[in-house]
Structure 1
Amino acid sequence: MTMIETLESRRVDNPSGHRFDDQRRWAASLTLGFQARPEKGGSVTRLTRARHQGPLRVQRPFYPEGQGGACHVYLLHPPGGLVSGDALSISARVGEGGHALLTTPAAAKLYRADSHEVAWEQHSHLRVADGAILEWLPQETLCFDGSRGEQSTTIELAGSAHCLGWEIMALGRPASDLPFVSGHVEQRFRLTRDGRPLWLERQPLDPRHPRFQGRWGQGGATVQATLWAVGLDDAQASVEAVREALPATSQWAVTQRHGVLLLRYLGDSRNQAWELCQRAWEVLRPLMLGREACVPRIWLT
């Protein structure tokens, strides 16, 4: 056996995930827990659990809102993107009376699949206890041509829990003249309260399917965004507030059903999608939480 054959054999037989055949899998996980703790002057949400495996972690919490404000935490994935075989799992739980805001330091990237077309996967499981608040505000995801994978977000609310969040996806790299013309990405969303489904959604993104170019589907748009808010005292009045605050264009719409407010964007500008979502967040946060929006410092760097 030659040296090259020996190396290839080790790669295939290595159970650690560092292999290069169609069974490659590199897993990373992060489990976070937040609890409201009584302290001098009031209650403070503390990061009480932070366990990680692989290149997925947090450094430390920030408290830019002061006493009683949200605990801001940045989710760090040093590789900066997902390649074939990557499997990220993020789990976060906010205990009763807690308030956590989770975001990321930069855009995530979904790279082109390898020659075996091995898929990546990313799953986020968020649990919010009675009387707790979670803001899920990751920066955008950039999906490269030829990427293949599945992205799921599961949110479980209990009692009077509140949640406000978004997902922003940009397809291809138009500035480099590299459009999203191949690959397959599937997004899944599941939002429940006390086990009762409030919003279930499955969205396949396949540029070769008629839905992708059809006016009844994606319409050829390269950027999409969804913002959700649940726990508003008056969801319909909040819809009207968002409509009044955002610029009137045909690229976004907002509605509510079963107490879940949904804002959708479909267009071709990452900046426009981000600005719409951030502005909507700035409008909705005081209505939901009685607090003005506090922009995470990482967004400004």
Structure 2
Amino acid sequence: MTRLSFAPPSTGEVVDYGHRFDASRHWPASLTLGFAAYPEANTSITRMNVARHYGPLRVQRAFYPEGRDGCCHVYLLHPPGGIASGDSLTIDVTVSENAHALLTTPAANKLYRADSNSVAWAQHTHLKVEDGATLEWLPQETLAFDGSRGVQTVEIDLAETAKCLGWEIIGLGRPASDLPYVSGIIEQQFKLTRNGLPLWLERQSIDPEHPRFLGKWGQGGSTVHATLWAVGLENPTDAITELRDKIPASHNWAVTHRRGVLLLRYLGMERNEAWALFQQARDILRPRLIGVESVTPRIWLT
């Protein structure tokens, strides 16, 4: 078999792109997106002005379901539909001054079982939001198959007056097929900064062999956990009160506010319950954050 070496445009690194299945297996993919606000008449329009991809990560076009002067909706496409051993996905998004972008995915992301060499996968997301800009990061859930091994990182860099609303949802195993998550390890890392100063740093390992996984002081045996964040709210205390008043009380979720970051957590057994909770929370928080009612991305309805 002939192997070819390619240099990804963003790094210049030479990568062995052959179909290897040993411990050195490495299949990279990257997507770089930029959004900018362009003045037009008495308003401005957010356009996607940068779209570079390497490997099986891409977007097709921008949508404007909220009007041409409204939020720019973009769907992130990963044709393989899941991440396997050796895959390395990098997503880099910049929302420039006064622009407003919403990014989501057409379906759940799947984290497949590691191969016989236990080669890990990697997924890194970097989101940069400049002054006066807003980013909504709303991917559909991630489903981790039994035996999956990898590292998932999310870094969010906000300027002084930037706003961000986002979430991450992960479901463990495939309960409908009676295939629980009983082996493997997934490390999740979150880093959110404003003007380079940390507001929220978090790291956790999802390891079913660790006492934390089943302990009541940790995962407690739950198969779904999720986090929603909102940064830039004028009155987070009132926002929390509204969330608690309008969303049915449950021991599966809680909300707090620290250092300018509102965090809503879910820990339970139902993906649909977490998804419904986060959509209700977005309906409440979006008007408070940007003064505009929530609009459901069309891709969620297909």
Q: TM-score, normalised by structure 2?
A: 0.95
Identity of aligned residues (%): 65
Structure 2 gaps of 5+ residues are 5-14
Aligned equivalents of 1:29, 1:167: Cα separation in 2: 19
Aligned length: 292
State the AA in 1 paired with 2:194.
R
Aligned residue number for residue 300 of structure 1: 301
Say if 1:294 and 1:18 are closer, same or farther in 2 by CA, change over 3 A.
same
Superposition pairs for residues 58-137 of structure 1, below 5 Å?
A: 58-137=59-138
User: What is the 5 A alignment of 1:1-301?
Assistant: 15-301=16-302
Distance 1:187 1:243 in 2: 28
Distance of 2:190 and 2:178 partners within structure 1 = 31
CA contact (8 A) 1:56 1:75 kept: yes
Equivalent AA in structure 1 for residue 85 of structure 2: S
Q: Is the 8 A contact 1:33 1:95 kept in 2?
A: yes
1:121 aligned partner, one-letter code: A
- After superposition, what is the alpha-carbon deviation per residue over 1:119-140, rounded to whole angstroms, capped at 9, x for unaligned? 0000000000001000000000
Matches of 1:15 and 1:73 in 2, distance apart? 31
Contact persistence 2:141–2:170 (CA under 8 A): yes
Which is worse superposed, 59-68 or 127-136?
59-68
Secondary structure of the 1:274 match is helix
CA distance in 1, matches of 2:271, 2:18: 34
- The Cα of 1:41 is off from its aligned counterpart by 4.4
Q: CA deviation at 1:259?
A: 1.1
Deviations 1:44-90 (A, max 9, x none): 00000000000000000000001431100000000000000000000
Distance 2:220 2:18 in 1: 38
- Structure 2: distance between partners of 1:64 and 1:93: 21
CA RMSD of aligned residues (A): 1.3
Q: Equivalent residue of 1:142, what SS?
A: strand
Q: Residue 93 of structure 1 contacts residue 126 of structure 1 at CA under 8 Å; is this kept in 2?
A: yes
The alpha-carbon deviation at position 244 of structure 1 amounts to 1.1
Unpaired segments ≥5 residues, structure 1:
1-6
> What secondary structure does 1:167 align onto?
strand
Which of structure 1's runs of 4+ aligned residues deviate more than 2 A?
Answer: none
Supply the distance in 2 between the matched residues of 1:169 and 1:116 (Cα, whole angstroms): 24
CA distance in 1, matches of 2:156, 2:45: 23
Deviating more after overlay: 83-92 vs 33-42: 33-42
Q: Distance in 1 between matches of 2:159 and 2:69?
A: 21
Rounded Cα–Cα distance in structure 2 between residues aligned with 1:108 and 1:67? 29
Q: Is the 8 A contact 2:192 2:199 kept in 1?
A: yes
Cα distance in structure 1, aligned partners of 2:136 and 2:143: 21
How much does 1:10 deviate?
6.8
**CA distance in 2: counterparts of 1:16 and 1:80, whole angstroms:** 19
Q: TM-score, normalised by structure 1?
A: 0.95
Q: What whole-Å deviation, never above 9, does each CA across 1:150-184 have from its counterpart, x for those lacking one?
A: 00000000010000000000000011000000000
Deviation at 1:236, TM superposition (A): 1.3
Structure 1 residue matching 2:266: 3-state secondary structure: strand
**Whole-Å separation in 2 of the counterparts to 1:102 and 1:10:** 35
